[in-house]
Amino acid sequence: MVHQSAIRSGYGPGPPAGTGTLTRVMSLMPASKRRPAAPEWAGNATTLRTRQVLMFIVVAAVLGAAAPAVAGPHVAAGVGEPPTIPPASVAPPDAAGAAEVVEIGTSVEGRPITVTRRGDPDGWRVLVIGVIHGDEAAGLDIVARLSERPVPAGVELYLMDSMNPDGTAADVRQNANGVDLNRNFPYNWGPIGEPGNWEYAGPSAASEPETRAVVEFITERQPDLVIWYHQDAYMIAPADGREGSIRSRYAELTALPMDSVSGGTYTGVAATWARQQLSANEPQPGVAFIVELGGTLPPADADRHADAVLTVAAENR
């Protein structure tokens, strides 16, 4: 269950803006190319008729300017003004889709643990936690996609990048105290190993600040569905009843096999604690399960998992 690498991307600065230059062309044009000056008026009959025609044109122009202008839908009503095109209408921001970022606690080393809330405040609540073991970081790509996709109507989405930011920064399984946070939750907790053991459960149940922050948040918000991402067993464990149906549906949407977990001591597990905590939810008990991703997560698979979260939420709201 070791994540091999985390994809990081950066953004460089854009090209510098250019500057425009205005040149007075006529002043640079040789005299031979310039338009000759108009001749002086002579006092003959042709000149008089020309003056009369010009006078008539000027008077007509003045009288036309004094008449009221009729503006079309995209034309201004003044003389000499360019047509006015109304700006395109912009829909107001969707209040239900507005994001709200809340800091719910800090890690051993003081890094913030944050949750982004999106969607309908009165909707079916879904909490997605991208990382609990710091070296299993592929879930970050799924959370990133969920932060951009439209939230289905009637769904409230809570997104937590990592509940173990120190482990994520160091690319290690445990938190900065060497505790496996997925063995530190208060339901069915038991001592496992000593510091340095890969499953070290900590000195006591919920001894770690990261665990306490998540326990407090879930207890307060009471989500209807909680999903934790892990690596790299590539499966979802089966279950009975309604929870089993939701797990199976997620597996179907993502092409993950259903299989039982083995190879460790499973006390103080986060998802098991959450199921117990949410069992009294109304009108139906809350659901909490682990999704085991593979060793890597191609972009198309990250898209598939993000879509699966939203589909399952929309189908059960």
Over 50: is that where the pLDDT of 50 sits?
Answer: no
Structural domains in the chain?
96-316 (3.40.630.10)
Q: Of the candidates 222, 218, 235, 133, which has an alpha carbon nearest to the alpha carbon of residue 184?
A: 133
Q: Which two tokens stand for residue 256?
A: 């993950």
70-113 confidence digits (pLDDT tens): 333 333 333 333 333 233 322 233 444 578 999 999 999 999 99
User: What predicted TM-score, i.e. pTM, was given to this entire model?
Assistant: 0.70
Q: Which residue has the higher pLDDT, 41 or 236?
A: 236
pLDDT in tens, 268-285: 999 999 999 999 999 999
Q: What is the model's pLDDT at position 2?
A: 38
